[in-house]
Amino acid sequence: MKILVIHPHLHFLGGSEVLTKILIEKASTWGHEVTVLSKDFNEELFREVKANYIKIKEYSKEVNITSRINNLLLTLSEVLSKYPGHVPLIMIQEPLYALLIKILKPNTKVGMYVHYPLEEELISTNLPKFLENYRFPNMYNEYYKIVELLMTNSNYTAKALYKLYGLTSNVVYPAIPEDYFQNTFTVKDKEQLIISVGRFVPHKKFDVLIKWFKERIRREVSDAKLLIVGIPDARYKDYYENLKKLVSECENVELIERPLRPKELAKYYGVAKVYVHLRIGEHFGMAPVEAMTQGTIPIVPEASGISEFIINDYNGYAFKNLDECLDLILKVLKMSSERYAEISRNAYRTSLYFTPYRFTRDVINYLKLIT
């Protein structure tokens, strides 16, 4: 199969970018011809991944909707002519791309992987940042309806897509890099370490976690430690600066402010006793799954995609509200070693579903329906 993978900002290092890399890498090793279109590419992430890489041509450097759409239209025209027969797959919710493809080639059927049908982080002041990276979150409207194949990352997202637009989709749960599965699992001696991973944005509520740690967790579990791993987001500089201030004022809290490779992160997950995911309404969130590969017990919101795999007291915990989350953190930290080992083992077994093989197989099988 010939596949045209489209993702606007593969020079970033986030969940959707890593997932796109997983798909490209696995599909190309299976013999599919993959062409990738993006504004730019993260050199380290894609260095060893074979594909035809094409950057969006910036005929105009102006950052406004008209110029950005014109740049895209001209680039897509060239790409569709140079690589005929490729099935377009948009790896992030940007239905405007599907519209432009159909303007150029009306009979082309398009696939899209939807992380969530609305852009939750959009505010008036950061719209230019989205436009700069060829994102058009204020132009979703009814364009989803022209996409022949809609895939969603969870039932949580699928329900939102149906509620907003009356559209059904195929749920294809995401994957994590194979590096997380390299080690043979054993029940490990864990430290009283809480870990949380993600971009430094208010939605992740790292500040709340630090406050809990300072005011209650350390008081009840004297040897507890907290590790927050992530990268700054240019749209939320004030939040990032406040996080650093909070960390400096609290003992036994560490902030790692750089992207870590899977093998590096796996080492931290390996010693952490509990993974805490505070973003309520997260369409999925892969960090809890990464932690589960190392037997770390996850605590996640009920209102999220990842909670679809969590059974309380079996492989982790899903909380209804923040107060309940804090109680669950303390419950895991105080848990007997025998009970912890049992839940840890089940968390690991659950993580085995999220392999690159399963994800890529599912996506390609769905793409075959529109070829």
What does the pLDDT read at residue 242?
Answer: 96
Confidence of residue 345 (pLDDT cuts 50, 70, 90): very high
pLDDT exceeds 90 at position 276 = yes
> 2-175+355-370 domain in CATH 3.40.50.2000?
yes
Task: Report the mean per-residue pLDDT for the chain.
Answer: 95
pLDDT exceeds 90 at position 102 = yes
**Can you tell me the mean pLDDT for 31-51?**
97
Q: Are 46 and 20 in contact (CB under 8 A)?
A: no
pLDDT exceeds 90 at position 360 = yes
What does the pLDDT read at residue 6?
Answer: 98
What does the pLDDT read at residue 310?
Answer: 98
> What percent of the chain is modeled with pLDDT above 90?
90
pLDDT exceeds 90 at position 218 = yes
pLDDT in tens, 11-40: 998 899 999 999 999 999 999 999 999 999
Output 180 or 285, whichever has higher pLDDT.
180
* Beta bridge pairs of residue 300: 318
pLDDT exceeds 90 at position 126 = no
What does the pLDDT read at residue 354?
Answer: 98
CATH number for 178-351: choose from 3.40.50.300, 1.10.260.40, 3.40.50.1000, 3.40.50.2000: 3.40.50.2000
> What CA–CA distances, in Å, run from 320 to 154, 302, 317?
19, 6, 10
Q: How far apart are CA 364 and CA 132, in angstroms?
A: 30
Confidence of residue 281 (pLDDT cuts 50, 70, 90): confident
Q: What are phi and psi of 335, to 5 degrees?
A: -70, 145
Q: How far apart are CA 216 and CA 115, in angstroms?
A: 35
pTM, to two decimals = 0.94
Pairing mode of beta strands 274-276, 193-197: parallel
**Can you tell me the mean pLDDT for 273-291?**
94
What does the pLDDT read at residue 217?
Answer: 98
pLDDT exceeds 90 at position 185 = no
Output 236 or 347, whichever has higher pLDDT.
347
What does the pLDDT read at residue 163?
Answer: 96
pLDDT exceeds 90 at position 235 = no
pLDDT in tens, 195-206: 999 999 999 999
Confidence of residue 265 (pLDDT cuts 50, 70, 90): very high
Q: How far apart are CA 263 and CA 295, in angstroms?
A: 15
pLDDT exceeds 90 at position 188 = no
pLDDT exceeds 90 at position 138 = no
Q: How far apart are CA 67 and CA 61, in angstroms?
A: 8
**Can you tell me the mean pLDDT for 295-301?**
97
pLDDT in tens, 60-88: 999 999 999 999 999 999 999 999 999 99
What does the pLDDT read at residue 141?
Answer: 80
Domain boundaries for CATH 3.40.50.2000 within the chain? 2-175+355-370, 178-351
Confidence of residue 112 (pLDDT cuts 50, 70, 90): very high
pLDDT exceeds 90 at position 100 = yes
Alpha helices by DSSP H, the chain: 15-29, 43-46, 65-82, 95-104, 127-132, 155-165, 206-212, 218-220, 237-248, 262-271, 287-292, 322-333, 337-351, 356-367
> What CA–CA distances, in Å, run from 82 to 52, 130, 174?
11, 28, 30
**Can you tell me the mean pLDDT for 245-270?**
95
* Beta bridge pairs of residue 319: 301
What does the pLDDT read at residue 189?
Answer: 85
pLDDT exceeds 90 at position 282 = no
Pairing mode of beta strands 33-38, 2-6: parallel
User: Going by C-beta distance under 8 Å and a sequence separation of 6 or more, which residues neighbour residue 10?
Assistant: 17, 20, 21, 36, 38, 39, 40, 41, 42, 45, 46
